[in-house]
Structure 1
Amino acid sequence: MTGLAFIAAGMAGVWLLSTPGSDAAIGARWLRAPVRRAATAAPRAPVSLLRCALAGTAAAAVGWMGAWTLFGGVVAPTLVAVFGAATPPCAMANRRRRRAADCWQAWPSLLAEIRVLVTHRGQSIPAALFAAGSDAPAGMRPAFSEAARTWSLSTDFEASLRVLKTSLADPTADAVCETLLAAHQIGGVRIDARLRALAEAAQAEAAARSDARAKQAGARFARSFVASVPAFMAAIGLSIGRGRQAYESGDGQLLVAFSVLVVAGCWLWASRIMAIPARKRVFVQ
């Protein structure tokens, strides 16, 4: 029981370290204070890499100790530690994809606001774009702020849109930026109809992706449940027969290692076939 309690505490610590932006309990926020202070004092990318490395190292240590508590030996704990080290980077990548999906769903409302500001309030296209960007989701606001700063310093709309496209790296953003640039430079291109068409296309794509994720909810739950069953059965096996001594034997270590490889392979295979393909970017210079 002490070993299982250690595993649970270690997994909770790894989760808190690898999800600094999650809504965790208020009492655990002090654990993330040093990471947040480092994020404000250093560039974002190095801090993210450092956080990922720390989370991977902690997950490997927790996986090794947990596997050694259950199975003993060296082969099985080492294999579990290797897969445990890869868990936080994969979790962070999935979280980035979810944030990108949330940003995609915001484009229809942003386009509608831009269309209203341009056609009904008479604002210029750059002013309407950056005004709408101030109400964008949190994941998109830094890109709009950087583009607005470029516009205020240079009044070069093309350079500002280039900054926006680079920061967002989104096919919908590319199409919107190219349409707005053409309307700003040429004029008389029926911006109202074009923005309405872009908003309808973005709405259709967001609805299709949301529907696909909803249909996969049961399969994703089943994948997690099936992956947790072998670990639960392994814990129960400690109280049957010789328990840990059987796991520590050579044959036991080989069987445990084979089981870990099979579960990890099935997880990766299921993740691959359930991945929703991303739309390729076209307007990339």
Structure 2
Amino acid sequence: MIGGALAVCGALGVWLLVTAHADMSLVPRRWSSALGASPTASPRRLLLGTLSAVAAALAGWTAAWMLFGGFIAPALIAACSAVMPGRSTAARRRWRTAQSRQAWPGLLAEIRIGVAHRNQSIPAALFAAGTGAPADMRHAFEEAARAWVLSTDFESSLRLLKTSLADPTTDAICETLLAAHQIGGVRLETRLRGLAEAAHAEAAARSDARAKQAGARFARGFVALVPGFMAMIGLSIGRGREAYQAPDGQWLVAFSVLAVIGCWLWAGRIMAIPQRKRVFLL
């Protein structure tokens, strides 16, 4: 098992290094998502994701074999463990995106002040406000500002910003700022204030929804750990390990693991906060 996993990992690493300058859109989207990377991720990130998945699978196999013995239960738990690093990385990315989205009301307020009181243009006010953006957003603003300085093409600079942040709120704000820059008007300050209020209302509604779900999310994680503790306690009761190693015990453990995973995924699905779809992609 370990030798085969290491051989597969080594072959995959060689392939990723050879294709380092190739078009990574050829990598399947489902594969990159399972590894916690975006479809356009670099070969290095894909390799690190693959190594993390292999290490998690080996750890899951070892722990399950020590608890239950046999083959069926360890194989199932190893398969489930392999996807955990990717899901954890994706969850952290979603959390950072949610935190960054909450910064837009303050950024829009800075843009409005720059336009109305400092006589700055919309591009200058946008990129000046971007210097105070959160760390996860600042790099995208720096790239867009660099493109603006080199080309003075506000539309292409905003396209670069939208691509880097990949967020529906950013898409809507960038399109509104582009229209305001191209059309202009005497009510520009009022429109910017309304845009900031809309972004603030959306961020507040999402924060309130997450706060209301805090107890349910804690219960979801706690309940998922209970079967593991019960399985460990079962080892000290009578002939616990021998019962787990029996064919019937292996199948019952596998069924229990699948039931816990199904309930976990179902609970996450019904608690998911709806995300707006990106519509300004061109």
The TM-score normalised by the length of structure 2 is 0.83
Task: Return the alpha-carbon distance in structure 1 between the equivalents of residues 68 and 256 of structure 2.
Answer: 12
Are the equivalent residues in 2 in contact too, given 1:183–1:189 (CA < 8 A)? no
The residue that corresponds to 2:254 in the other structure is 257
1:1-285 equivalence runs, <5 A: 45-188=42-185, 190-285=187-282
Task: Return the alpha-carbon distance in structure 1 between the equivalents of residues 212 and 44 of structure 2.
Answer: 35
Are the equivalent residues in 2 in contact too, given 1:165–1:174 (CA < 8 A)? yes
DSSP 3-state at the match of 2:42: helix
Task: Return the alpha-carbon distance in structure 1 between the equivalents of residues 233 and 172 of structure 2.
Answer: 55
Structure 1 residues 226-271: Cα deviation after superposition (integer angstroms, max 9, x where no partner): 1111100100111111121111011110110010010011111111
Q: Which runs of 4+ in 1 moved over 6 A?
A: none
Task: Return the alpha-carbon distance in structure 2 between the equivalents of residues 272 and 173 of structure 1.
Answer: 25
Are the equivalent residues in 2 in contact too, given 1:111–1:198 (CA < 8 A)? yes
Return the offset for 1:45: 3.1
DSSP 3-state at the match of 1:262: helix
Return the offset for 1:46: 2.8
The residue that corresponds to 1:7 in the other structure is none
Q: Which amino acid aligns with 1:109?
A: G
The residue that corresponds to 2:30 in the other structure is none
Return the offset for 1:283: 2.1
Counting matched residue pairs gives 243
Are the equivalent residues in 2 in contact too, given 1:59–1:85 (CA < 8 A)? yes
Structure 1 residues 129-159: Cα deviation after superposition (integer angstroms, max 9, x where no partner): 1010111011111111111111111111111
Task: Return the alpha-carbon distance in structure 1 between the equivalents of residues 71 and 129 of structure 2.
Answer: 57
Return the offset for 1:128: 0.7
Structure 1 residues 71-122: Cα deviation after superposition (integer angstroms, max 9, x where no partner): 0000000000000001111111111110110011000000000000110011
Task: Return the alpha-carbon distance in structure 2 between the equivalents of residues 137 and 130 of structure 1.
Answer: 13
> What are structure 1's unaligned runs of at least 5 residues?
1-42
Are the equivalent residues in 2 in contact too, given 1:79–1:257 (CA < 8 A)? yes
> What are structure 2's unaligned runs of at least 5 residues?
1-39
Are the equivalent residues in 2 in contact too, given 1:72–1:247 (CA < 8 A)? yes
DSSP 3-state at the match of 2:276: coil
Task: Return the alpha-carbon distance in structure 2 between the equivalents of residues 217 and 53 of structure 1.
Answer: 31
Task: Return the alpha-carbon distance in structure 2 between the equivalents of residues 227 and 161 of structure 1.
Answer: 43
DSSP 3-state at the match of 2:118: coil
Structure 1 residues 145-179: Cα deviation after superposition (integer angstroms, max 9, x where no partner): 11111111111111111111111122221222122
Structure 1 residues 171-222: Cα deviation after superposition (integer angstroms, max 9, x where no partner): 2212221222122222215221111111111111111111111111111111
Task: Return the alpha-carbon distance in structure 1 between the equivalents of residues 46 and 204 of structure 2.
Answer: 33
Are the equivalent residues in 2 in contact too, given 1:104–1:206 (CA < 8 A)? yes
| CA separation of 1:225 and 1:193: change in aligned 2, threshold 3 A | same
Of 60-69 and 120-129, deviating more is: 120-129
The TM-score normalised by the length of structure 1 is 0.83
Q: Which amino acid aligns with 1:244?
A: R
